[in-house]
Structure 1
């Protein structure tokens, strides 16, 4: 399957070729529409005038990076917090994987190992880590033994639960419907 999100074609192309852009998109996929989160790495590269490296972002002046994130239209609803989070993730990539975002999943033998590596990133709780493992497995061919189990329900074949399942406008609609059902169920369950 060729991954393709229903976003700007240039932003989508960047996600397909740049592991760092994909990871930054996942970092930003929180409290904003996923189209915003996953197109922001492209907007960031446009504002910088080039595709940044993890080392560059890790070492970037925090105040200047926050300004880049906050410039209208802001890259995220919480530009300061997310500029900081992206820097934290990039620093970890530099420290543990020599600045190579693909090093996060390169050479992993099991889904559990992959999940553990992703979950160790700043801001990646269990659910976000499972979604990223599912995204890597379903759309990018990163499929160590047991990856579906490690991804939990997000790894199920034929599911429409997260960005891992979005390849076109129809699948986006199905994921949104699933999320609305879950919200409604949670709301109904909370009223009991």
Structure 2
């Protein structure tokens, strides 16, 4: 089922995420040690400074020029410089391996890639580890209608129906608050376990 993404609280930022698979991938890349809705607003900040959001234009921009663009207040992330470098590397990776189309990560190939293959491809991207790849796979399955065979299993707990674990489960302000609450409780439990 294709759902209109409502991840940022900003209609323009959400529209870009809905319209551009690379923007959605960049939002996921930025979703680290930074509030979710701000991370997923990063692509719009880049678009506003580059006269549109275009992965070819990002990759073609001199790296230090792109970093400067991304750290200019309001920066795309708390760690704007390092994240800008990752976004630049991600753009180049999509050009080199996926013909400049981020959707090819989950659509290209014969036979069409299954859930484990999509997860493997996501994990191989710059700035994506196991957890980030699983969350993005769950986001694709739950909200973008991308449901390759075995995607829920490959996404682990993030693929669970009705869960409130990650950005994959955010559909409005209420679910955002529920995900925040889950993350806070998980952190508190991990801290308590570490202190024992």
Partners of 1:25 and 1:40 within 8 A in 2: yes
Task: Tell me whether 148-157 or 40-49 shows the greater mean CA deviation.
Answer: 40-49
Q: Which runs of 5+ in 1 are unaligned?
A: none
For normalisation by structure 2, the TM-score amounts to: 0.95
Residue 27 of structure 2: aligned partner: 25
Residue 192 of structure 2: aligned partner: 188
Superposed CA RMSD: 1.0
Task: Tell me whether 166-175 or 70-79 shows the greater mean CA deviation.
Answer: 70-79
Question: Is 1:96 the equivalent of 2:97?
Answer: yes
Instruction: Give runs of ≥4 in structure 1 deviating > 6 Å.
Output: none
Secondary structure (helix, strand or coil) at the match of 1:75 reads: coil
Count of matched residue positions in the alignment of Structure 1 and Structure 2: 191
Quick one: distance in 2 between partners of 1:42 and 1:189? 39
Quick one: distance in 2 between partners of 1:93 and 1:5? 23
Partners of 2:158 and 2:168 within 8 A in 1: yes
Deviation at 1:170, TM superposition (A): 0.4
Residue 72 of structure 1: aligned partner: 73
Quick one: distance in 1 between partners of 2:57 and 2:147? 29
Quick one: distance in 2 between partners of 1:74 and 1:158? 33
Quick one: distance in 2 between partners of 1:28 and 1:60? 19
Q: Which runs of 5+ in 2 are unaligned?
A: none
**1:117-128 residue pairs with structure 2 within 5 A?**
117-128=121-132
